[in-house]
Structure 1
Amino acid sequence: MNVSLSVDAIAAGAAAADVVIDIVGETASTNADLLARIGQLRQPTLLVAESQTAGRGRAGRAWLSGAGDSLTFSLAWPLLRPMRELAGLPLAVGVALAETLAQLDVPVRLKWPNDLLIGDAKLAGILIETALEKNGDQQVWAVIGVGMNLALPPALAQQIGRPAAALSPALAQDRNHLLGRLLGGLANALRQFDREGFAAFKARWNGLHAWRGKTVQIIDQGRVEREGVATGVDDQGCLLIMTENGMAPVLAGDVSLRMKDEGDVTHAVAG
């Protein structure tokens, strides 16, 4: 049985994150809820839901989960950097989550641009949406949605239909401690991103790159747009692949990444 979510317990695990924490029993989408509150928020805000009924992901995908089987939350964070400098933010968030999980003895690797893997199976996904507060300051907000598998009952695994992973029962049981640690890691990373940009995360991301040296395909609207060997990411967070015509950078957008001769293993991310 999962420990009940608690604002005080999450805050204790997050140390000095200085974040407002809200918990709801059920909502359609924590990302959508926080985006609707932009203009009313006065400091970073975490919204965590026991259950999401319409979690959203990249390219219109959905996050599939059963009650209590996923950790689903969104973090609204005000940024000093302009939107044009935020392309690497999803990768920086991936690094923060992966490094925090490593401290908890979970060996996570990163799949460009927004997935956390254990082995070849997806543990978690990230969806970041940005908004501009329409006031005199034109404040930029990032809403960072995360969905992480806590358990994979057979029916859910069959519904997902792709390789998926879950945390150990011991780690998944105390969601407050887990979420507090993740929140603390995210808060530190977001402050660093604001100061230093993606440059502070590039080498760390490349060190966690799950598909480095693999032949991959870039899929756009169902068509193979590019093929080559994945080598890492550049200073902006673009994926670098070595093609027949040389090195080519790929911007995330709504493209999908898959290994050559395999089905598209990208499934939905939270929000």
Structure 2
Amino acid sequence: MENNKSAVEHHKYSERLTELEKRSVAAQQRQRNKKSAKAHIGNKIHGIKVKRYVSNGERVLKLVVLFSLILLLMLYIISPYSKVKNLEVNGNHDLTKAQVEKETKIYPGRFIWGVYLGRHQIINDVKKQNPQIKNLVIKVTGPQSLQLVIKENALLGTAVMNNDTYAVLANGQLQRTKTADNGIAYKRFDGHREALATTAGQLGKLKPAIRNGISSVSYQPTKEYPDRIIIYMRDGNTVYADLNTVGDKLAYYPAIAANMKDKGVIDLQVGAYSYSYDSKDK
């Protein structure tokens, strides 16, 4: 009886001991887990700090670079290196480089950034002030270099109206001038400025080879042909034409003149036909 009792107590003691060992092992495991968690959190915090330092460093570097560029730009703007040193003018024929500089107010010594930033206003102003300038392109070709590309309204000749001399441009506009050139002489247009502008605009459509063959143009309307002009060619021929259509019809002048045996008249007012000066069939 006593042996059975002892065996039962021994079994209970063993179970109790096993339970205590399990608790001890669990406690030790929890302790290790806590340490591991703390170590993981510490590593994570360290990683976050490193990333933050790197990110801050990048921000600072970017700001330093940005402000350095701004500082360099400001120094360039106020320095002599931002002034125009080389100015190239292309596309001009009747206008000289000096005239282009005067009209555009762009010249060596002017700040290049001021010209570039205000280029649109400069172009608008110069086209209004001088109708001889049809278009203007301003290009920056270097730190101190500019290029002005001019497109002109060709100068066709001159006309005297009301005792004033006008340069006649290819777009039909008239520009007061003090000198006459060797281009087309426009005669008998006094008091007929609109007719002169229309005639000039038509002749401006012609190829230079044909246009340069014109010596003078005279406005001589009749009752039958109220818009008649008479064109005197440098080769000796005379052309009768309508000022509203002369630009299109005179384009065929070289072919018509080539088929003429003698110098004479080419009538382009209605259709197109020609006859020699000494012909009786006029």
Q: TM-score, normalised by structure 1?
A: 0.20
User: Higher helix share goes to which structure?
Assistant: 2
Bigger fraction of residues in strand = 1
Structure with the greater alpha carbon radius of gyration: 2
Relative contact order, CA 8 A, sep 6+: which one is greater?
Answer: 1
